[in-house]
Each structure stands twice: as structure tokens, then as C-alpha cells.
Amino acid sequence: MANVRKKHGIDFKAKVALAAVREDCTVAELSSRYGVHASQIHAWKKTVIDGVGSLFGKGKGGASDAAAAEEARLAKLYEKIGELTVERDFFRKRSGP
């Protein structure tokens, strides 16, 4: 019988991660209470702690600045993919069938 992976929603992840950040109980207790592996709770907690700094970033567009930077990075990558595809096709034609 195949194992089925659980897909947790954003709200559930946030609830568990905030409970871990509060440290009212141990990660093992949280793990048994919510049915999530302890390492997963640690990962969600780390994500919350690392992401808190962006809430207090300069200006109101902290998240939009990150999105714009990501969009620019993706544009460069797509440009490079197109360039490499053209080169590959060119050399394939030159080398024959």
C-alpha cells in the first residue's frame, strides 16, 4: 500500500509554526497534537522566523519589491533559455540530419 502525502494548508502551517515560535510546549508535543513530523515543524518555524524581517522592511512595497526582483530574475533566465535554444537549433542544422 502506497503512502499518501498530506497536503497542509497555509492556515494550518501558520497555526503550527506560531505555536512552535511561542514555545508553550515542546516540538514533540506539537508533533503529536497536530500529527506533523517534528522536523517539518522546525522547518515551518524557521520559515516564520526568517520571514518576519520582511514585514518591517523599508516602505510599504517590501513584498512587491521582492516580487519585482524575482520577475526580473526570471526574465533573464527565460532570455538565456531562448538564446541557448537558438544556438542548439543552429548547430543541429549545421551538423546535418
- How far from 93 is each of 72, 79, 82, 88, CA to CA, in Å? 32, 22, 17, 9
% the chain with pLDDT above 90: 60
Between 37 and 6, name the one with better pLDDT: 37
Say if residues 26 and 42 touch (Cβ distance below 8 Å).
Answer: no
Asked if 41 and 20 count as a contact pair (C-beta separation under 8 A), the reply is yes
pTM for this entry: 0.56
- pLDDT at 95 (0 to 100): 78
Q: Where are the domains of the chain?
A: 8-56, 59-97
79 or 96: which leads in pLDDT: 79
Report the distance separating Cα 54 and Cα 35, nearest Å. 29
Mean pLDDT of 11-16: 93
Tell me what the mean pLDDT of segment 1-12 comes to. Answer: 84
pLDDT at 66 exceeding the cut of 60: yes
